[in-house]
Structure 1
Amino acid sequence: MAPPFFSDINKGVNDLLNRDFYHTSVAAVDVSTVAKNGVKFDLKAKQTVKDGPLAANIETKVSDKATGLTLTQGWSNSNNLNTKIELADVTPGLKSELVTSLVPGVSKAAKLNVNFVQPFFTARGAFDLLKGPSFVGDLTLAHEGIVGGAEIGYDITGGSLSRYAVGLGYSAGDYSLGLSINNAQLTTVSFFQKVSPILQVGAKAISTPKQLANVNIEFATLYLPDPTSQVKAKVADSGIVALAYKQQLRPGVTLGVGASFNALNLSEPVHKIGSSLSFSA
């Protein structure tokens, strides 16, 4: 089994802490359908602030399994045209993609991504063709549950190293540990465990070498009452508590509701409530 990409070394705890918390949007709707010929359509819309504007995006994905070519075209109500062309299995384990973004008369961007996956290592390279140009690459190696990796960013025009990071992870069946250092300024330690088939727990601590007294800690847990629902809770040392509930109403229809509040000062106007409704067919 190939090791994860560098950004996925701590995927378990990152998903537990960041996914399926619905308070970040007042309301969100996601509709996904697949035509008989395999063409996939996605429509996403969300309102991040009460009485604020609605952000919507429609996306079409067409794949040709014979050649490994995939074309994804998106268009948002902010007139942003997003295009992604993927070419898989040029050689075994090699995948490349060209991603472009265009807002007519405002901005444009183009990135070339190359991924290479083998049983004992993975490597990625991302070239920003218009900004810089610049390069970001990472490499991970794995052996008997231990995963190590490094990431660098390079400004091609300036000829300088723009960022770097190293990470180390260990997985032993039902639990995993992670450590990462970013630009020698940010240290992250994480823990994730599947306590049982219906219960998961995880925590992450982030600190800087110059301010070891200021450590930001988050803890989250996920509970599955039954096969069609889940309950999540997250607590940060800042006092912010987030709660979320997801329920499959019927096959292809899922409802999510969430809230966050400051447990240290309930009178502060920072409380948020949100919901999400997803359809797939």
Structure 2
Amino acid sequence: MKPPASRKGATRTTDIPPQVLEALSIGDLSTATLAEGLAIDQARLLRTVFPDLSKRALGKVEAACRLGILKRMTGIGALLLEDLGTPGIDRCRKHGADTVRGWACFMIGAQPALSLADRLAAIRPLADDAHFGVREWAWLAVRPHLARELDAAIGHLAGWTTSPSERLRRFASEVLRPRGVWCAHIPALKQQPQRALTLLASLRADSSVYVQDSVANWLNDAAKDQPDWVRQICAQWLRDCQDSSTRRICQRGTRSLP
């Protein structure tokens, strides 16, 4: 399994060399760019990784692969959970291909009876994955569950904001962005962004640019619905903290405000 850094990945699906697409679609290569992730033949990848899947599951795969990328990942995660059960999560999580580990995220998201604490514990190693794509799938897969138990989720994620891992600290911010990317909005946070203030305040001077960008994007999301609140919070943070990280977050977080 070659790491993404071993080549310059294509930024457009039409620019992916056939031999690279072939390797991606049989799980022999990790994606280096979003374009590569979108171009993978996931039906072929699934048949390669799990040749023992039932015919019923394989039929569902073909239907899922005709959907957009998020619905595709969600559908494959659900059918894998149905066909392989929870042991399949570990099989996916240990695979070298990032898309397969992404399926593990959506299998965790598809489990109906998990408590919020157990779901977060299950997704944690994938939220801390070395591959950028897996980390994105991790928050997308569990976000609907966290949005439904918003205050409890914020309470659990507060502990993640002090993690030594910048990836987990970023997850604590990114997973509950009011608007986000490729996901449904969270109306409660669009109307009352202050409900997540404990998370944001804990990350307001984070030294990691990766985390800073997420917090700034969170504020930028909130500014579209509650601009005065964002102005007030940033003014308060800048009064209380002269850290360059805080200044960067506030500058980027208010970039859409007049």
Same fold (TM over 0.5): no
Q: Which has the larger radius of gyration?
A: 1
More strand, by proportion:
1
The alignment's TM-score, normalised by the length of structure 2, stands at 0.30
Question: Looking at both structures, which has the greater relative contact order when contacts are Cα pairs under 8 Å and sequence separation is at least 6?
Answer: 1
